[in-house]
Structure formats: structure tokens, C-alpha cells
Chains A and B, each alone.
Chain A
Amino acid sequence: MTTPDEEARFTSDFVRNHVITGGRRLPSAETLSLHTLVTVAPQGEIPPAASPEVRAIWKLCGGGYLAVAEVAAHLGLPVGVTRLLLTDLLEQGLLLHREAPRPAKSADRQTLLKVLHGLEALIG
């Protein structure tokens, strides 16, 4: 049991996040990493029963591609909660994402070379 003191530590944020996620376990980063780019599917329609948070995601992501972390930052939601809502949309076919991230250590040479050349171009 929680004492009133302990309850007080969990301010509205905790309760709010719990309500948004329906108390579900948050998904891991495998499909949607912090830097995975997402946008809403052009032909998709927002589910009529969408929560205010999902509506906010829909509006934000309707404008183009943003990384998962950017979506979280713009909406002021924790990354885990944002990822869960985005995963829901993805599973409903309403979200597009650029290629899924690779685990660390498998960055391919091609990508690294593009990053390198891009950085070199920055400083001339």
C-alpha cells in the first residue's frame, strides 16, 4: 500500500502518463528509436476515438518527417509515452517511418562516409 506521502511524490505527471498509455508497458526502441523519422501516412485518417495526445501527434506529424524524440519534445510528452502512441499508429498503418534503426556497431561504411562528407562540407 502507498502512504499519502508516497502518493504525493507521484504528481499529476505520473497519473497523466498512466492514463495516456492505459497503463500499458512501454515498447522498446527496436522499431522506433529516438532518431527514427516518422510522419503520418498521407492517405490515413485519424481514428475517431483518438485521444487528445494522439490528435496532437497527428497534427504535428502531418507536416512532414520528424524524429521520435522531436515529436516527444514538441508535445512535451516523455519519449516512452510518445513511442507507445506512435507504435499504435504504426500498427494501424497510419504512420510511416524511415528504415528501422540498426543496433549499435553495425553502422555501415556507406552511411559513415556520407556523414563524414556532410560534416566536412559544413566547415568548408
Chain B
Amino acid sequence: MDSKPSLVDTKPKPIYVSETVRTSTKILVVGHFAVGKTTYVGSLSEIPPLRTEEKMTQASVHVDDLRGAPDKVTTTVALDFGRLTLGDEVVLYLFGTPGQQRFMQLWEDMAYGALGALILVDPSRLIETFPVIELLEQYGLEYAVAVNNFHPEQQYDEDEIREALDLLPTTPVVYCDARDRATSAKAVIALVEHLLALTE
């Protein structure tokens, strides 16, 4: 058969992790609907971003049990993720995660073993970030806030954002453009520096 990549073949070919990699890590990229999570993951990923679609029951109890609750309505949740090989030994996965409380099983899955989370915020929709912060705190995940600069003409003061989101003084707040690799990388760096400071 013809093995040449076809234009209609939308599924990216698997790109395997380097043999030298020993440690796999994960960071969650969270935020409200349409804040730019998928774009952000795409800017940093070394592989074409991948997507899994999870069928969830709306009621979040025991959704992992396929035998249970066939009278509940199912919803599809898309998880977009990417990968970055860092040095020879470490790979970092970035999972763009929907911030809805009702997908509890998904959140448990995402949170397990995660280093921490980066919260993407749209400064004109700060209020929509509260449920996400609540979820992170519930799962004991440390986080940094990355303000995705949708409106460069509008300046949002860091202090205003801190106050509006009721952040701890130690929680990093950085500005990024989710379409731009360098500023996106700087936002993760701010998160990792914060995580390191917490281990001291």
C-alpha cells in the first residue's frame, strides 16, 4: 500500500519519545472556555498537538465505571495535549484541561502526578477563572497565573489582577501571548521557579 502521507490523513504519525528519556513530567494548562489553552499547548509542543475525546457522564460520580448509570447523559470532553523534550532525560507533557467541576474523574486523572498548573486568564473575563482556581486548590495543585494578552491596547495592572483573583503574594503572575513560543515558555518557567521555591 501507499505509505506516503496523504493530505486527508489528519491523524499525525506517532513520534516516539527519545530513548534517552527517563523521566516523564506533566503540567496542566487550565483556564475557562476559549481562553487559548489549545493555542498555548500548540505553541510549545514539539509534536503536532494531540487530542483525546473522553465521554463523561454529566453527573460526576463513578464515571469511570462503564456499568454504572446508563441513564445519565454523556458529554464529550476534549483533552488537547503536547510534548516537549527537555535535555536528554526529561519529557514534559502539557495538558490543556477544561475547567469544569463536573468532570471530576478527568480532573483526578489529570492531577495525578502533575508538577503543577498554569492558569491562563483573559483579563477581561477574570471572574470566569474562579472555578478553575477552586478546582486546583481542591486537588492540591500549585499554580502560576499567565495573563494571555488578547487586548494589547488595554493594559491590566498586575496588582488589579492579583486583587481580583485574590492571589497569594507568592503566586507568580506573568504576561504571555499564547501564540508566541518564547513568552509561553517564560510562563512555564515562572511556574517551575515557583515550584522550586516551594521545595526550599
Contact residues of A with B, CB < 8 Å?
2, 6, 9-10, 13-14, 17-18, 21, 23, 25-26, 28-30, 33-37, 60, 63-67, 69-70, 72-74, 76, 78-80, 98-99, 101-105, 107-109, 111-123
Contacts and interface: CB of A to CB of B under 8 A. Distances in A.
A37 B55 contact: no
Contacts of B23: 98-99, 111, 114
Contacts of B115: 104, 107, 111-112, 115
Contact of A107 (B25, B53, B87, B89): B25
B50 A69 contact: yes
A108 B113 CA distance: 11
A122 to B, nearest CB: 5
Contacts of A122: 84, 86, 181, 185
27 contacts: A25-B65, A25-B66, A28-B108, A34-B26, A34-B93, A65-B19, A67-B83, A67-B93, A69-B52, A69-B81, A70-B50, A73-B81, A74-B11, A79-B79, A79-B109, A80-B64, A103-B113, A104-B111, A104-B114, A104-B141, A107-B116, A109-B196, A112-B199, A117-B86, A119-B86, A120-B189, A123-B185
A64 B19 CA distance: 8
Contacts, number: 187
A120 B188 CA distance: 10
A84 B18 CA distance: 25
Interface stretch (B30-38, B69-77, B151-159): B69-77
- What secondary structure prevails in chain B residues at the interface with A? mixed
B85 to A, nearest CB: 8
Contacts of A80: 54, 64
Given A69-B79, A74-B11, A79-B54, A123 B182 contact: yes
Interface in B27-59: 50-55
Nearest to A22: B66
A4 B17 CA distance: 46
Given A25-B64, A64-B17, A98-B22, A115 B50 contact: no
Nearest to B27: A115
A112 B195 contact: yes
Contact of A78 (B25, B54, B70, B87): B54
Contacts of A29: 108-109, 112-113
B190 to A, nearest CB: 10
Output the residue of B14, B79, B141, B182 with the most chain A CB within 10 A: B14
A49 to B, nearest CB: 21
A101 B87 contact: no
Given A25-B66, A26-B64, A122-B84, 15 more contacts: A2-B70, A13-B55, A26-B66, A28-B64, A35-B25, A67-B83, A78-B53, A78-B54, A80-B54, A101-B113, A104-B113, A109-B199, A112-B199, A114-B87, A119-B192
